[in-house]
Amino acid sequence: MILTFALLLASPWLVSRFLESRLAPRALVWAYFASLLAAGTAALLMLVALTLRSLPHRYLEMAGLECTDAENCVGVLPMWADATFSFLVGGVVLGLLAFAAYAFFAQLGASRRCAGELDLCAQGVLLPLPMRPNARLLVIEDPVPTSYTIGFLRPCIVISTGLYDALDEDELEAVLAHEEAHVGGRDNLLTLAAQTFAMTFALIPGFRFAYSRFRRAQELAADDFAHALTGDPLVVASSLEKFARSVLARGRGAVGGTPAPGVGFADEGNVGERIRGLLEDRVFPFSRQTLIATLLGIVFIFGVFSSSALSMTDVALPGPMGSPTCHAVTAAEPHGQYCTGH
């Protein structure tokens, strides 16, 4: 169980080490997302298993659970220590769940507030977009070149009036193609889930790394889509360079103050790295089989870990034929508890 748990926690590094040169960026998005999801769920499952394993059996019976292994009914720790440990771990589990809910709804609230602000300065909604007829394009009054997507179920592409002044027609088409890639890939929805896991388990090594690589893969995938749609990587690179110069000139951390958790054109990843990738015109190998094998591998390891964690708890719902249960201490029983079948 410890080995599978370590593999799940190390999965983001394994993806980075062995798959970044073998998977196209869009496939990498799903590989990193799966590693985040598996590692976070495994950490939570481990805490739940530790809580159930150490929980005094009278509380298990109150919850309708029973001990399934007569040899392990006697705890290693005294009852008071078992209770203290189990309630401590249970408090950590509840705290993580509460923080995850807070992180999730905080992002929803930020998106909702930003949408309200955008409505005040919108110039109009233009339909349709070239590749995504259902996507919405919102033009806002802002001299700063700005482009990002906002929204989760129905993402909206937001661009500023300053964008038209800063970019020529081909560059504007490249920026819109980049944002259409975010819309088509449901990147905002994936970012919402990934950022919730990254914030919840931020103290565990690897989660912040996985989230940063996940966001980097999203931007590289959108750049590749814009490259394929426009047919000219120099146009996409030129757009990135102009956005980066605008940020440096104005001393702002993100183009146009891109709101969390929206995904913007030049606010994530190393812009220089993205430009070099476009100019090198890298050809990624066909990656569907590798991606499927990676996802199946993560699912298999998670399944093995889950079954091991479940068996470690020695706890189950009562069966129709009954199962061993723990009884109160008597003077004749030196271990403090004993188990019988019924």
- The pLDDT tens digits of the residues spanning 225-241 come to 988 888 888 888 888 88
Residue 28: its pLDDT value, please?
92
87-133 pLDDT per residue, tens: 666 677 777 788 778 777 877 777 777 766 666 566 555 544 555 55
Residue 255: its pLDDT value, please?
36
140 beta partners: 122, 160
- My answer on whether omega of the bond before 128 falls inside 30° of 0, hence cis, is yes
Phi and psi at residue 68, to the nearest 5°: -105, -5
Q: Which residue positions in the chain have pLDDT lower than 70?
A: 54-90, 115-135, 247-269, 281-286, 312-342
265 beta partners: none
Residue 32: its pLDDT value, please?
95
Residue 173: its pLDDT value, please?
87
Residue 332: its pLDDT value, please?
43
Q: How far is it, in rounded angstroms, from Cα 340 to Cα 252?
A: 69
Q: How far is it, in rounded angstroms, from Cα 51 to Cα 53?
A: 6
Residue 326: its pLDDT value, please?
43
Residue 199: its pLDDT value, please?
86
Burial of residue 58, with CB atoms counted within 10 A of its CB: 0-12 exposed, 13-18 middle, 19 or more buried: exposed
Residue 13: its pLDDT value, please?
93
Residue 9: its pLDDT value, please?
92
Among residues 19, 2, 24, 48, which one has the least CA distance to residue 210? 19
Residue 109: its pLDDT value, please?
75
Q: How far is it, in rounded angstroms, from Cα 114 to Cα 304?
A: 43
Tell me the one-letter amino acid at 236.
V
Neighbours of 184 (CB within 10 A): 16
Give pTM, 2 decimals. Answer: 0.76
Residue 67: its pLDDT value, please?
60
